Structures are given as C-alpha cells and as structure tokens.
Amino acid sequence: MSEPQNPIEVQRHLGGVDYPASRDDLVETARNNGAGDDVVSALEALPDREYDSPTAVSEAISGS
C-alpha cells in the first residue's frame, strides 16, 4: 500500500479547479498540471463524489 499523500502537495496540482468538482475533474486537472503518479493515484482513490472546496479534498486525502 502506498503512503498517504500530503494534502498540501496535492493542492499544488489542483490550481484552476472550479468547485464543486468531481473526483474525475480533480484527477484530470492534476494530470494537466503535471502531477506525479503518486498524486494522481491518491486522487483516484478518493470516493466518487462532488468536492465543494480545497478543504474538502484535503480532508478526504488525509482521512479526516
């Protein structure tokens, strides 16, 4: 199992996301912003739902 991603590192690759955003929107944006496989994998592992803010994404990534 891979180690959990730092939410700050993930947010660096989510610039330009229009919230609310789906998991697929987040993955696509991260890829377009040059995210590495580890960041993309962490986003792909998120529950498939709408995220209404960067904070919601960070909480989901960190498991809070």
Dump the DSSP string for 1-64: -PPPPPHHHHHHT-TT--SSEEHHHHHHHHHHTT--HHHHHHHHTS-SSEE-SHHHHHHHHHT-
pTM, entire model: 0.89
At 8-36, the pLDDT tens digits run 899 999 999 999 999 999 999 999 999 99
Share of the chain above pLDDT 70, in %: 92
pLDDT band, residue 1 (cuts 50/70/90) = very low
Neighbours of 32 (CB within 10 A): 11
CA distance 6 to 18: 21
Domain positions in the chain are 7-62
Task: Report the mean per-residue pLDDT for the chain.
Answer: 92
Give the separation between CA 62 and CA 33, rounded to whole angstroms: 21
- Mean pLDDT across the stretch 24-52? 96
